[in-house]
Amino acid sequence: MASGKLLRQLIKTGIEGNIEAFRQVSEEIIREERRKHHHLLANDLEKILYGRPQNLPRNYLQPPKDKDRGLPLIHILQATRRLEDVVLSDENFSIIEEILKEYHYEERLRSYGLVPTNRLLFCGPPGCGKTLTAEVIASELGRPFGIVRIDSVVSSLLGETAANLRKIFDYISNIPMVVLFDEFDALAKERADQTEHGEIKRVVNATLQMLDDYRGRSLLIAATNHEMILDIAIWRRFEEVLVFDRPNIEQIRRLLEIKLRGVRRDFDISDTNIVYKFKGLSHADIERILRRAVKQMILSGEEFLKERHLIAALQREEARQKRIKQG
């Protein structure tokens, strides 16, 4: 809780109608909460202070389309999930928290000739939170969340893929948003690969050029499950690289707490025997298992989630993954 001195100053400046002083005191309260590691409260106070749009403006709803097939090149969503909904490593959490702070104080940075970090690369195995984290960043910044549709961007027509990329960059340069280029390796594959044809190399060259020329206010996030095949020149185009991996034991425990929040259960989530049952699984695997377990509880007419529901759901997941490997 903020100190009594700051609270008195806040009320005094508010009553006097001194907007600038009120903002300064509010910012000091936010800094004090961060020093106390009350990060979620600090984030909420920043949103109240700086505001966040509640609805998508009309021009967000007219994304560019592929000329050949008429498909939208980017899918616009209103992000809803918050920072408390994602489980991150301490390093990734720290980086994202710093980036959010840069955007909350964007005008102050620009007054010094600086701009917030606007190009991030997320890499790591599937199901470990890359897309969710991108959505969380959009939600925390109060911006629309755009997902670039790689299936629409990549065209069989010569030169059309680069043209589609240009449409996307023109669009996001004019409208502040958070944009996710999922499966980014499709646009940035190693050019030295002798098995790839000339068109792919032209697409990579176009991607590099557009990243270099980008001056818009959107935050660009590229995500890949195959970072080892990215062109070597791609890496230096990104200001931050975040590596996502399968959760460790402590992260599994936090994930169980988040996903089972509000679910009545007859076991302790902090029980090491429960937590270790999920060791080695991805975030998405764990979430899928918990959904199955809760469904089984509901369909069996029971009021409490039991350990046997978890075990049955885990066994189904093991069978599922075995079928995938065999398939």
Residues 6+ apart with CB under 8 A from 59: 175
Residue 105: other Cβ atoms inside 10 A = 15
Instruction: Give pLDDT, residue 137.
Output: 95
CATH number of the domain encompassing residue 267: 1.10.8.60
Measured between alpha carbons, how far is residue 37 from residues 1, 34, 88, 94, 267 in Å? 11, 5, 16, 12, 29
pTM above 0.85, yes or no: no
**Among residues 216, 243, 270, which one ends one of the domains?**
243
Co-location of 78 and 209 in the same domain: yes
Instruction: Give pLDDT, residue 41.
Output: 76
Higher per-residue pLDDT: 299 or 193:
299
- Region 258-279: what's the mean pLDDT? 92
**Among residues 243, 259, 281, which one ends one of the domains?**
243
Measured between alpha carbons, how far is residue 186 from residues 76, 149, 191 in Å? 21, 11, 12
Co-location of 78 and 144 in the same domain: yes
Q: Could you report the per-residue pLDDT of 76-86, keeping only the tens digit for each? A: 888 888 888 89
User: Would the pLDDT of 224 be above 50?
Assistant: yes
Higher per-residue pLDDT: 198 or 100:
100
Instruction: Give pLDDT, residue 198.
Output: 66
pLDDT band at 158 (very low <50, low <70, confident <90, very high): low
| 65 class by beta-carbon count within 10 Å (0-12 exposed, 13-18 middle, 19+ buried) | middle
User: Would the pLDDT of 201 be above 50?
Assistant: yes
Co-location of 37 and 159 in the same domain: no
Co-location of 78 and 219 in the same domain: yes
Co-location of 182 and 227 in the same domain: yes
User: Would the pLDDT of 6 be above 90?
Assistant: no
Co-location of 140 and 273 in the same domain: no
Distance (Å, whole) CA 124 – CA 238: 16
Q: Domain tally for the chain?
A: 3
The whole-chain average pLDDT of the chain stands at 87
**Among residues 209, 243, 277, which one ends one of the domains?**
243
User: Would the pLDDT of 194 be above 80?
Assistant: no
pLDDT band at 157 (very low <50, low <70, confident <90, very high): low
Co-location of 272 and 135 in the same domain: no
Co-location of 34 and 121 in the same domain: no
Co-location of 268 and 239 in the same domain: no
Co-location of 144 and 288 in the same domain: no
Q: What is the DSSP string of 223-266?
A: EES-GGGB-TTTGGG-SEEEE-----HHHHHHHHHHHTTT--BS
Strand 74-77 to 145-148 pairing: antiparallel
Helix residue spans in the chain (DSSP H): 4-16, 19-35, 39-50, 90-104, 106-111, 130-141, 150-153, 160-174, 198-213, 249-259, 272-276, 283-299, 307-326
Q: Which domain holds residue 274?
A: 249-326
Co-location of 281 and 162 in the same domain: no
pLDDT band at 55 (very low <50, low <70, confident <90, very high): low
CATH number of the domain encompassing residue 177: 3.40.50.300
pLDDT band at 53 (very low <50, low <70, confident <90, very high): very low
Co-location of 141 and 224 in the same domain: yes
